[in-house]
Amino acid sequence: MARAPDAGKKRWIQGPEPIQGPDVPYQNIRKSNPPVRGWLNLTTSVLLLEWFGFIRTIIWQNTGFANLRKLQVHIENTPPRFDPTVVPFPEPSREAKKDLANGSNGHALAKKLLRKYYTVADYHRLYLSGELTPTAVAKAILPLIRKDTSPPGQHSIAFFDSKVDLVLAAAEASTLRYKEKRPLGPLDGVPTAIKDEYDIEGYITCLGSKNDYTGKPKDGSSITSWCVKKLEEAGAINVGKLHMHEFGLDTSGNNPFKGTPPNPYNSQYYTGGSSSGCAYAVSTGLVPIALGGDGGGSIRIPASFCSVYGLKPSHGRLSFKPALNHSSTCAVNGPIASDIHSLSAMYQVLGAPDEESLFAAPSPTLLTPSANRKKVLGICEAWFSRATPAIQTLCRSMLDRLVSEHGYTLVDIKIPFLPEGQTAHAMTVLTDAATLLPVTKGLTPANRIMLALGNVTPSTDFLLAQKLRHVLMQHLAWLWMQHPGMVIVTPTTACAGWKVGKPVDLKYGISDGDQTLKTMEYVWMGNFCGLPSISVPAGFVVPEGRKGEGEVAEEGVQGKVPVGLMGMGEWATEEELLWFGGDCEDIGQERSSTPPIWVDVVERAKEEMKRTS
């Protein structure tokens, strides 16, 4: 049903009717499930779950999936909603559906950052001035990331593969364009890297597994994914494919098959996942932008854990063509970047709609805020308070400064069925995955455990989950009718990072449902309800095992663990979220810093130019 805010006009295509949800008290009562680690425990668990249906059913119920039945009286009369795509009305004209890869007319100038990260704008400026060339940058990066050298590159742990000939060919073509003063736009020559779930000509796709899932060309056409193609057309230099959590089915970034990138700030912690390699590559300074994917926080969680910026667009906003969306009711493509300007520049290129999309292209004035924009922040206190005290302190201090320095207003909101909504999202994703992967041979034991649970979801419970999705979307539409332009704010995660429990976890994997739920406490809603969401750095906490562990970390603390603040907007309000992110960047810079393993790619490239001149 489309929403009609004024007479005769509909605002949304497939928009939920704004209906306030039930006024029920917030309750989060979950049974704890111990982590499963080590080869013997993981293998035994897989065998028991795959061979004995009654054990699968017991574990399925212990996870809380059956609790949705308790909500039946509240949601039974709401039709199920399987697709959370909501498109602004009216349909954009064909003239508006143009590729904006060739410029950023009207963009606000990139701000000077206090922390030492090179942005998209920095690279573009250096190329225009002739101080650097894309070829020199590519040659500076490649020795750091290649696995086929002896020894492997220092940062190759984050990379699945890098095709040197393809990288250098693209870099040399970009260098020639700058020499002839005909660059394609702000991304021309800028190094980037791609998560190993996108098909790219010349590369195989494994989705973080041992198996080959590379797409098959149709009628001789290219298999390269739409988003990758847009980056290539904009002149960006893809330096390689990045590691990910196998199939994106968990949030640590642990991958015993392909490699687990360590957290750049503290090697005893995970990067977060599933876009683990993306966050590592951006956080270490190897690239200013990377292409990730997000089906349950897989962009925002690693962005938070690695102190960078991540944007999860509205559902259906970015094209998956020519491949299919393997988690079609929850997953999206999206960027991770070192700063808001770079995030915006990448999103503008990725957002070019394909020929079947109903979405308009991103505005060419993406980072030029409207003087009349709403500055309203919504907080659901019961939900916000699920985070650790230090995370709350850091996030609330940022919100206070947004109010005092940028004119925002805080409003208290209530959202029903939050724990149940997280359960419904998990049930949906696991059932999707189990349907997609009926044969689990060769997969990690941790994922086989989750797929076994997805295999026993009753159809009636799955339908209840989709009914709850619809109720939540209706309530959110009602909230935005009460508070137009509101950004719902929470911490990105309820926990400060995810520490590697034992060395054996890196060898065989880990299944820790309790920790996974903490990381996904807030991010699930954006995926389940199709909303855009952004994670921005909020500060650091003292790591586990150190004096004052879990407290807010001062600047000199070694091994400090990054945390993030998340904003979630109404459908198709990516632009407003980027404005919000820019305000957060302004106030958060003094508490930001680069990790100890940060790489000065620009200096390395300058040395390369001296060597070859």
Decide if pLDDT at 446 tops 90: yes
Note the pLDDT of residue 3. 41
Give the model's confidence band at 76: pLDDT under 50 very low, under 70 low, under 90 confident, else very high: very high
Q: Which residues have a catalytic role annotated?
A: 195, 274, 298
Closest CA to 36 of 25, 28, 24, 45: 45
Give the model's confidence band at 105: pLDDT under 50 very low, under 70 low, under 90 confident, else very high: very low
Decide if pLDDT at 255 tops 80: yes
Could you tell me which residue, 68 or 33, shows the higher pLDDT?
68
As given in the structure block, the two tokens for residue 50 are 């795959």
Instruction: Kindly provide the residue ranges of all beta strands, DSSP E only, lying in 301-395, ordered along the sequence.
Output: 309-312, 332-337, 376-379
As given in the structure block, the two tokens for residue 138 are 């590519």
For 477, other C-beta atoms within 10 Å of its C-beta total: 23
pLDDT digits (tens, 9 = 90+) for 528-546: 999 999 999 999 999 999 9
User: pTM here?
Assistant: 0.95
The burial of 363, by beta-carbon neighbours within 10 Å (0-12 exposed, 13-18 middle, 19 or more buried), is given as: middle
- The greatest distance separating any two alpha carbons of the chain, rounded to the nearest whole angstrom, comes to 75
Note the pLDDT of residue 114. 65
Cα-only R_g, the chain = 23
pLDDT digits (tens, 9 = 90+) for 303-313: 999 999 999 99
Note the pLDDT of residue 116. 82
DSSP 261: P
* DSSP H or E stretch at residue 192: strand 191-195
What residues are paired with 463 via a beta bridge?
none
Residues constituting the chain? 613
For 51, other C-beta atoms within 10 Å of its C-beta total: 10
Note the pLDDT of residue 580. 97
Decide if pLDDT at 106 tops 60: no
Alpha carbon 267 to its chain centroid, in Å, reads 21
Residue reference for tokens 């250096």: 126
Decide if pLDDT at 112 tops 90: no
pLDDT digits (tens, 9 = 90+) for 592-604: 899 999 999 999 9
| Residue 137, φ and ψ in degrees, nearest 5 | -65, -45
pLDDT digits (tens, 9 = 90+) for 412-441: 999 999 999 999 999 999 999 999 999 898
Average per-residue pLDDT for the chain: 93
pLDDT digits (tens, 9 = 90+) for 483-522: 999 999 999 999 999 999 999 999 999 999 999 999 999 9
Residue reference for tokens 């090697």: 267
Give the model's confidence band at 27: pLDDT under 50 very low, under 70 low, under 90 confident, else very high: confident
Note the pLDDT of residue 547. 94
